[in-house]
Structure 1
Amino acid sequence: MSRPPTFTPPPCARASRLRTARGDFAVLDARPAEGVAVRGTALLLPGYTGSKEDFIAMLQPLADAGYRTVAVDGRGQYETEGPETEDAYAQAELARDAIAQAEALGNDGGSGPVHLLGHSLGGQIARAAVLLDAAPFATLTLMSSGPAEVAPAQQQKIKLLGDALRVMTMDQVWEAMRALDPPEEAEYLRSTREDLRQRWLRHHPVQLLVTGRRLTVEPDRVHELAALRPALPLHVVSGESDDTWPVPLLDAMAERLGAHRTVVEGAAHSPNTDRPTETAAAVTRFWDTRGPRRQGLQNRD
């Protein structure tokens, strides 16, 4: 479970609804201050069990750097409603949602194609989106999101969660998960515990079941993604450690992609919450310098 430090947006951001051809999505929309030159627009997709709030600490530095940044709850995540049917959460459907979100941003005073960033599950949805249609996107950043299925230990955790969701209420599952927290984790969660609980309760269990299952069987599509270069600049970001996709696996994926590579010191699976300022700086450096000079190169910050 991702753990944003706060659920209160910074001054640059407001909670709103993004209207698209595929429905409305709850977003945090952060905009540069008056007088700051707008350099582009970014769309941020959260991970499994996460939400738009996972990017909340990155919004102000991204806006200060000149980027309108929209973090979104996908269908069935937190404040975006979702249907009961499993087909609605198929990866291709979620990918088409991301394309529609980017197109809506491009039509809403946008300055051209959108920078797409996905964390963990969001990265695999983002990858599927650009493989369906790369035209709405200026760049793609995969943050702590690997080439194929998650590590075996994570597969087991997802299976246990799925089994619980089939026989327990969301509230019962929450309490069972918290009973397993070590004391130091309980202390860490003290300030945001109720916000995290409310977010969990508003996730659609079918969304968790379908997307969790997909994480355990995702095929390796790196060769397909690599074929989009150099037209679509690629960036692989991770922390120094990762228990979902090992860092050496992410290194190898970046090399296969010919992608720019950033390792955020002091961060684990969620650089966006562990080291948000440093992560925002790495992302904006990539966005600022995209273009012919960077294409065809692999770099490591």
Structure 2
Amino acid sequence: MAARRATDEMRDRVVLGEFGVRNVHTTDFPGNYPGYEDAWDQRRFEEAFRVDVIREEEDTLEFDMVGIDAAIANAFRRILLAEVPTMAVEKVFVYNNTSIVQDEILAHRLGLIPIRADPRLFEYRNQVYSKHMTWVPLGNQTDLFPDADFRPVHDDILIALLRPGQEIDVLMHCVKGIGKDHAKFSPVATASYRLLPDITLLQPVEDEAAETLQKCFSPGVIEIQNINGKKVARVANARLDTFSREVFRHESLKNLVRLARVRNHYIFSVESTGILPPDVLVSEAIKILMGKCQRFLNELDSASME
């Protein structure tokens, strides 16, 4: 039974060796491990899945998604990068520009300034044909958005340096869009995930070896304790490690440590550009993913009826 439990534990780990990686198969794909039922099961998924918020600040959010497959984690990341809509400058009408910045460069820089305007209040720009040409007054927009505070997220983004007598006079039109159309619509500065590190000391590491081991990992990962007059290394916080594999450069240490990652435990880091709070971005990404799943189910239902 002990051997069985050890096998089950290693099956849940991606093991990093000196020259390669072992057990890299995705968890839910059936047939990778003979004798195990790896097929996806909804009940088992609902029991194992959870989301833990680790750190939340004004523009950053770190949270764990546990019990999902790599494909779902990556889909969630891609949606955050490319499919959560924002507002950005689309058209720049230059009336006067006597600065040293060319009109095209100026327009490009203006397009990359994040705009604090809730995209959920706007509709996507439609395909326009001649039949759609009509007169639309702009004066009632104040009544439509009485509480809106549309402006750049940051007031100190440098656009151009002007010498005495130079000026820039432009009119800008903002539209709703998504990151896969243009990077300027991406609502996040970064959106990444990594597997939870798992570091195991296979034997006691003491004295000078303990100090060398501590230097092989990121700060805070390895802690040195004083036990009966000896310096003894212990794993304090494996989550902080970046897995540089520095330990494998030391012949005396590389067989004393097992480096692994928990296969279905993903650490997400989301940094907003300031357009929307990161928790709202995550919520919107979940809604988009749910919509994709629903459309896929509808397609399956339609195909079964044909």
Q: Relative contact order, CA 8 A, sep 6+: which one is greater?
A: 2
Q: TM-score, normalised by structure 2?
A: 0.23
Bigger Rg over Cα: 2
Q: TM-score, normalised by structure 1?
A: 0.23
Q: Which has the higher strand share?
A: 2
Q: Which has the higher helix share?
A: 1
